[in-house]
């Protein structure tokens, strides 16, 4: 018997066993639709699976039973004891057939016509349209499974596989063989069935494995204590046995851990065959590409994800991909491609299933959603494609015009979502009309083993999952990587930027915010990223890394978002696991609900977050406070004015073995010898300049709204920052002053020349900020203050080579602008870059859908310049 037949038998036996009780409950509780749905799904799954295994007897019974259950589900048939009796009878028959299949590898003989007639009678009485089975399957007596398998296998295995000690193949009977074929006594075809089922593997309950694992952990601890004792004792006789114990325990631990982990490929191995068979049934050409099959996940999760995945792949084959003729007509390759990709990401396992088919039928879904009262006409019209697509996850939502045997009863996607959410996962979809759909399933590793960095903070140890650690930086108060404290905020000088810091002590309430630490203290900075926001978590020091088993946090502490779980370390102590998402959320610095891409946010549609910006507030001269966006500043330095020398009316300083020009941020900044001044280093590529100020005041988060344009080139305008009138410094102006040739396109060897970029942003401030970046790329900037403005400028004949647009704008959003440009032939070839303050997964997906070539965080100067150069070069070559 082949593996998947055996799997089918054991799974089906299990699910049928669970159904008896459900059915009895149904009799008592006829109105329980959830219960009906569950029973229906199980039968649906059984029918689907036996369909491709060629188990026709099973399939016919399951199909008729399913019809009845469907009628109950839709309220056409009421649950009477008679109905339940007939359904129970059908389940008994299913069980009997499955048992026979398990024992003998064939469905066995039996006459189900009476049962099927009874089932159909219930359905007919309800006036339902019975879904007929495809004729050939019903007409033919089921051939013994082994023959069918042999026939399939010979077709399937075009390339030879390592022959599994090939049993002498029974003569292959053609499918239309005489009924005698099915009457062959089991003994004649039976291969060594007993050894087949009993060898290799057994089923062990997860509870047992869990207990085993707990015991092993305990054993490890005891061993560690013994080793410790032995090290301190002089008794040499202990050494040998202890070493052996040590080794054996380690191996045992490893093996027990392994019993829980399986490559995701184990859940995929049935798929190629399913896809192949479906392709044949549907007359389509389908290629299944799978990558990341080795990604390991907890077996429990694997089991739970197997069925949903199968449903999804079936859906993609059936609804997603077009017929070869339709594909050719649409200018695509005849063969449709389904890609399955798995990988680890940020403490999650992500599985992506994409097809290059026709995409979801959005107009139909819109209509259906309105018809079913899920949303009003107006609401549906205002929804994005992704939001509309999400309707398919609603129970009973199927738009397939015809109910087919493969899928399309409105079962499937709601089952998928239910199963994924049950294990704390999420499912998302992006659909591109005409170009296919991508489903992304994200499952947390709650049950999995992860590698974690164990760190010290205020005398306690905490675990930080390695997957969320970008980089570790040893920081001290005088070396290369210094921690600067500016009022209540700390920042780290890391290469060419200032990284905002979050001290773990403060987050955990173990130190007052802004409390001064002793100078000379060494600290460890864990650089991490949430969404597009990069920051550092400050801890005291690192211990080492450990493989930890993530255990869920006790119910009492569930709402403390800083912890994602807890674990027991090698020495037996309990250790909390830190979740960077939660850490950031506690600081209130970034709206993490957006970074997490939670459903509520997705469903709420256009987000109204105001764009906040980290600003460095400085004093220079006696005027207003001045503010400079923190992202534009590479470093902060303090200098003695004595080391500044003057040449040709310019101030210069030796800085990192180069000469760096200095410019006072205000003419009133006095450079008299013997004083100390603060210098903000601003870098552009290899070059740097220093902006001299009197004092650094603070770092604040604030929205910047230019309220007053001053007409002075060194100031973009003034704005209220935390209630204080503040001038926003135009760094571009100072950069130009510092090096006259800084922005001349000629200084670029290979950059684009004379290209024009349409810079769309509702904030004059951001437009001014981007100006020097664009100019340094050799681009001429055409500003637009809104999406509407951009469209009217293009309409008026403005020719540009590139569009860079903000996303969150009143009126036409960046997404909408991209969609409109892409829908017009004259503009659709202009590449579009989207900029946003918070480039989370969801936004990136939406951007890609709308037609962005790149989606970058705002103020990532280098990133933007790089992307622009790259795109312009591609354009030139094209």
Partner 1 sequence: MSASRQAQALQLVSVEVVGQSWGIPIAAVREVLGPQSLTPVPLAPPAVAGFLNLRGRIVTVLDLRATLGLGRTEEPERATEIVIEQDGELYSLMIDGVGDALTFPASAMEQPPQIMDARWRGLTDGIIKLDGKLLLVLGLDRMLAAVATAA
Hey, is 72 helix, strand or coil? Answer: helix
Alpha-carbon Rg for the chain in angstroms: 34
> How far does CA 770 lie from the centroid of its chain?
30
Angle at which helices 33-53 and 56-73 cross, to 10°: 160
**For partner 1, which is the closer residue by CB, 214 or 823?**
214
If you write DSSP's letter for every residue of 615-648 in order, what string do you get? EEEEE-SSSSEEEEEGGG--EEEEEEGGG-EEET
Question: Judged by CB, which is closer to partner 1: 566, or 718?
Answer: 566
Whether residue 683 contacts residue 496, with contact meaning beta carbons closer than 8 Å, is answered with yes
Task: Decide whether 576 or 620 has the Cβ nearer to partner 1.
Answer: 576
Binding part of the chain for partner 1, among 328-336, 465-473, 548-556, 682-690 by CB under 8 A, reads: 548-556
Cα atoms in the 13 Å half-sphere on the side-chain side of 740: 1
Cβ atoms < 10 Å from Cβ of 31: 8
Task: Kindly state the smallest distance separating residue 251's Cβ from partner 1, in Å.
Answer: 19
* Cβ closest to partner 1, residue 121 vs residue 560: 560
- Among 169, 248, 329, 560, the residue binding partner 1 under the rule CB under 8 A is 560
Q: Of all residues in the chain, what percent are helix, strand and coil, respectively (each to 5)?
A: 40, 25, 35
- Residue 554 binds to partner 1 (criterion: CB under 8 A): yes
By beta-carbon proximity to partner 1, the closer residue of 403 and 569 is 569
* Nearer CB in complex with partner 1: 85/225: 225
* All residues at 6 or more sequence positions from 642 whose CB lies less than 8 Å from its CB, including other chains: 673, 674
Distance of alpha carbon 290 from alpha carbon 264, whole angstroms: 11
Answer yes or no: are the C-beta atoms of 122 and 71 closer than 8 Å: yes
Sites for partner 1 among residues 459-488 (CB under 8 A) = 460
Establish if 574 lies at the interface with partner 1 (CB under 8 A): yes
Q: How far is the CB of 505 from partner 1 (least distance, A)?
A: 9
Question: Closest separation between CB of residue 501 and partner 1, Å?
Answer: 18
In this structure, are residues 462 and 576 in contact, taking their beta carbons and an 8 Å threshold?
yes
Q: Report the C-alpha gap between 787 and 794 in whole angstroms.
A: 11
Q: Are 505 and 511 in contact (CB under 8 A)?
A: yes
End-to-end CA distance of the chain: 56
Which residue pairs from 816-824 have beta carbons closer than 8 angstroms and sit at least 24 positions apart in sequence? Answer: 816/787, 816/850, 817/760, 817/787, 817/790, 817/791, 818/847, 818/850, 818/851, 818/852, 819/850, 819/851, 820/791, 821/794, 821/851, 822/850, 822/851
Sign of the CA dihedral running 53, 56, 57, 59: positive
Q: What is the closest distance, in whole angstroms, from the C-beta atom of residue 263 to partner 1 in the complex?
A: 26
Closest CA to 461 of 351, 565, 574, 589: 574
Q: Which of 302, 562, 689, 704 binds partner 1 (CB under 8 A)?
A: 562
Q: Which stretch binds partner 1 (CB under 8 A): 313-321, 572-580, 683-691, 766-774?
A: 572-580
Burial class (CB in 10 A: 0-12, 13-18, 19+), 796: exposed
DSSP per-residue string spanning 147-172: HHHHHHHHHH-SS-----S-PPPPPP
Give 181's DSSP letter.
G
- Of the ranges 231-239, 487-495, 508-516, 790-798, which one interacts with partner 1 (CB under 8 A)? 508-516
Residue selected from 85, 243, 250, 573 as contacting partner 1 according to rule CB under 8 A? 573
> At closest approach, how far in Å is the CB of 214 from partner 1?
3
Query: Least separation, in Å, of the C-beta of 555 and partner 1?
Result: 6
Best CA proximity match to 85, nearest among 67, 65, 70, 71:
65
In angstroms, give the least distance from the CB of 211 to partner 1.
9
Whose Cβ is closer to partner 1: residue 445's or residue 681's?
Answer: 445
- Nearer to partner 1 by C-beta: 504 or 653? 504
Q: Rule CB under 8 A: is residue 180 a binding residue for partner 1?
A: no
Distance CA 516, CA 430 (A): 48
Residues 205-234 that bind partner 1 (CB under 8 A): 213-215, 217-218
Least distance (Å) from partner 1 to the CB of residue 575?
7
Q: Does 568 bind partner 1 (CB under 8 A)?
A: yes
Smallest distance from the beta carbon of 425 to partner 1, in angstroms? 22
Contact 735, 780 (CB under 8 A): no
Is 356 or 506 the residue whose CB approaches partner 1 more closely?
506
Cα 522 to Cα 59, 479, 528, distances in angstroms: 69, 10, 19
- Each residue of 122-155: b (16+ CB within 10 Å) or e? bbeebebeebebeeeeeeeebbbbbbbbbbbeee
Q: State the helix-helix crossing angle for 56-73 and 113-125, rounded to 10 degrees.
A: 20
Q: Which of 555, 647, 740, 750 binds partner 1 (CB under 8 A)?
A: 555
Rounded distance between C-alpha atoms, residue 244 and residue 237, angstroms: 13
Q: How far is the CB of 835 from partner 1 (least distance, A)?
A: 36
Binders of partner 1 in range 712-741 (CB under 8 A): none
Contacts with partner 1 in 402-461 (CB under 8 A)?
460
Least distance CB 347 / partner 1 (angstroms): 19
d(CA 567, CA 570): 10
Nearer to partner 1, 577 or 716 (CB): 577
Query: Using the rule CB under 8 A, is 509 a contact of partner 1?
Result: yes
User: Of 766, 806, 767, which Cα lies nearest the Cα of 787?
Assistant: 806
3 state SS of 775: helix
**Residues near partner 1 (CB under 8 A), total:** 24
Output 213 or 293, the one with its CB closest to partner 1: 213
**Closest CB 197 distance from partner 1, rounded Å:** 34
Nearest-approach distance from CB 562 to partner 1, in angstroms: 6
Closest CB to partner 1 among residues 562, 729: 562
Among 136, 363, 434, 572, binds partner 1 (CB under 8 A): 572
Among 18, 24, 328, 557, binds partner 1 (CB under 8 A): 557
Q: Which is nearer to partner 1, 19 or 463 (CB)?
A: 463
Residue closer to partner 1 (CB basis): 175 or 458: 458
Nearer to partner 1, 33 or 511 (CB): 511
> How do beta strands 296-298 and 261-263 pair?
antiparallel
Minimum CB distance to partner 1 smaller for 429 or for 539 = 539
Q: Is 513 in the site for partner 1 (CB under 8 A)?
A: no
The structure tokens listed for 868 are 């622009």
Residue 510 binds partner 1 (CB under 8 A): yes
Among 566, 581, 592, 602, binds partner 1 (CB under 8 A): 566
- Among the residue ranges 296-304, 532-540, 574-582, 665-673, the one whose residues contact partner 1 (CB under 8 A): 574-582
Minimum distance from residue 212 beta carbon to partner 1 (Å): 10
Binding range to partner 1, per CB under 8 A, among 534-542, 557-565, 592-600, 648-656: 557-565
Interacting residues toward partner 1 by CB under 8 A: 213-215, 217-218, 460, 508-510, 551, 554-557, 560, 562-563, 566, 568, 572-576
């Amino acid at each position: 018997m082949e593996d998947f037949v055996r799997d089918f038998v054991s799974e089906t036996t299990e699910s049928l066993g669970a159904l008896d009780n459900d059915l009895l409950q149904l009799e008592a509780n006829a109105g329980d639709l959830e219960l009906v749905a569950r029973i229906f799904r199980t039968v649906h799954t059984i029918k689907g699976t036996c369909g491709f295994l060629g188990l026709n007897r099973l399939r016919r019974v399951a199909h008729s039973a399913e019809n009845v259950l469907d009628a109950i589900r839709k309220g056409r048939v009421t649950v009477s004891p008679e109905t339940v009796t007939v359904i129970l009878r059908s389940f008994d028959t299913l069980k009997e057939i499955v048992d026979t299949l398990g024992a003998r590898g064939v469905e066995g003989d039996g006459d189900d016509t009476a049962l099927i007639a009874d089932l159909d009678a219930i359905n007919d009485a309800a006036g339902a349209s019975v879904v007929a089975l495809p004729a050939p399957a019903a007409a033919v007596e089921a051939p013994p499974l082994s023959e069918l398998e042999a026939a399939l296998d010979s077709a399937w295995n075009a390339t030879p596989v390592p022959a599994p000690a090939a049993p002498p193949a029974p003569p292959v009977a053609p499918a239309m063989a005489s009924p005698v074929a099915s009457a062959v006594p089991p003994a004649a075809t039976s291969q060594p069935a007993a050894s087949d089922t009993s060898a290799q593997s057994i089923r062990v309950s997860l509870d047992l494995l869990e207990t085993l694992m707990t015991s092993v952990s305990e054993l490890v601890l005891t061993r560690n204590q013994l080793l410790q004792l032995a090290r301190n004792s002089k008794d040499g006789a202990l050494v040998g046995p202890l070493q052996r114990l040590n080794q054996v325990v380690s191996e045992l631990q490893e093996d027990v851990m392994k019993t829980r982990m399986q490559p995701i490929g184990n859940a995929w191995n049935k798929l190629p065959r399913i896809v192949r068979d479906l392709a044949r049934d549907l007359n389509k050409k389908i290629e299944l590409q799978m990558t990341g099959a080795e990604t390991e996940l907890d077996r429990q999760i694997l089991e739970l994800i197997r069925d949903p995945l199968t449903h999804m792949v079936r859906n993609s084959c059936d609804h997603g991909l077009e017929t070869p003729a339709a594909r050719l007509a649409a200018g695509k390759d005849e063969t449709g491609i389904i890609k399955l990709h798995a990988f680890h990401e940020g403490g999650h396992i992500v599985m992506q299933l994409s097809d290059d088919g026709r995409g979801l039928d959005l107009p139909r879904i819109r209509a259906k959603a309105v018809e079913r009262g899920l949303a009003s006409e107006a609401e549906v019209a205002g929804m994005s494609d992704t939001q509309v697509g999400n309707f398919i996850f609603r129970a009973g939502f199927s738009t397939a015009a015809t109910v087919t045997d493969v899928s399309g009863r409105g079962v499937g996607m709601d089952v998928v979502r239910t199963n994924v959410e049950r294990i704390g996962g999420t499912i998302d979809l992006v659909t591109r009309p005409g170009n296919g759909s991508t489903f992304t399933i994200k499952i947390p590793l709650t049950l999995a083993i992860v590698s974690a960095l164990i760190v010290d903070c205020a005398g306690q140890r905490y675990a930080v999952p390695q997957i969320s650690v970008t980089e570790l930086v040893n920081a001290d108060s005088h070396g290369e990587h210094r921690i600067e404290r500016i009022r209540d905020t700390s920042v780290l000088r890391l290469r060419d930027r200032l990284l905002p810091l979050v001290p773990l002590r403060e987050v955990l309430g173990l130190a007052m915010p802004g409390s001064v630490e002793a100078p000379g203290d060494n600290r460890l900075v864990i650089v991490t990223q949430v969404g597009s926001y990069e920051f550092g978590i400050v801890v005291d020091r690192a211990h080492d890394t450990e493989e930890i088993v993530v255990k869920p946090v006790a119910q009492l502490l569930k709402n403390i978002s800083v912890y994602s779980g807890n674990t027991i370390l090698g020495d037996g102590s309990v250790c909390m696991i830190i979740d960077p998402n939660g850490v950031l959320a506690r600081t209130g610095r970034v709206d993490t609900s957006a970074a997490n891409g939670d459903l509520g946010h997705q469903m709420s549609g256009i987000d109204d977050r105001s764009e906040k910006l980290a600003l460095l507030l400085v004093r220079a001269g006696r005027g207003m406070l001045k503010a400079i966006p923190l992202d534009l500043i590479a470093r902060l330095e303090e200098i003695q004015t004595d080391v500044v020398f003057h040449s040709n009316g310019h101030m210069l300083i030796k800085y990192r073995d180069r000469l760096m020009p200095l410019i006072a941020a205000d003419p009133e900044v006095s450079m008299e010898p013997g004083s100390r001044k603060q210098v903000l280093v601003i870098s552009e590529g290899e070059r740097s300049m220093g902006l001299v100020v009197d004092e650094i005041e603070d770092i604040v988060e604030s929205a910047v709204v230019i309220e007053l344009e001053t007409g002075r080139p060194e100031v973009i305008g003034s704005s209220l920052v935390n209630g204080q009138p503040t001038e926003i410094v135009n760094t571009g102006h100072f950069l130009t002053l510092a090096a006259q040739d800084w922005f001349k396109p000629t200084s670029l060897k290979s950059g684009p020349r004379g290209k024009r970029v349409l810079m769309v942003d509702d904030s004059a401030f951001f437009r001014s900020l981007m100006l020097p970046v664009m100019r340094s790329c050799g681009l001429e900037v055409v500003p637009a203050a809104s999406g509407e403005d951009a469209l009217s400028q293009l309409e008026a004949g403005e020719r540009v080579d590139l569009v860079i647009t903000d996303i969150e704008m009143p009126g036409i959003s960046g997404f909408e602008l991209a969609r409109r440009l892409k829908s017009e032939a004259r503009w659709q070839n202009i590449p579009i870059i989207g900029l946003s303050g918070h480039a989370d997964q969801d936004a990136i997906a939406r951007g890609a859908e709308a037609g962005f070539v790149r989606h970058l965080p705002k103020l990532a100067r280098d990133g933007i310049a790089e992307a622009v150069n790259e795109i312009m070069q591609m354009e030139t070559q094209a």
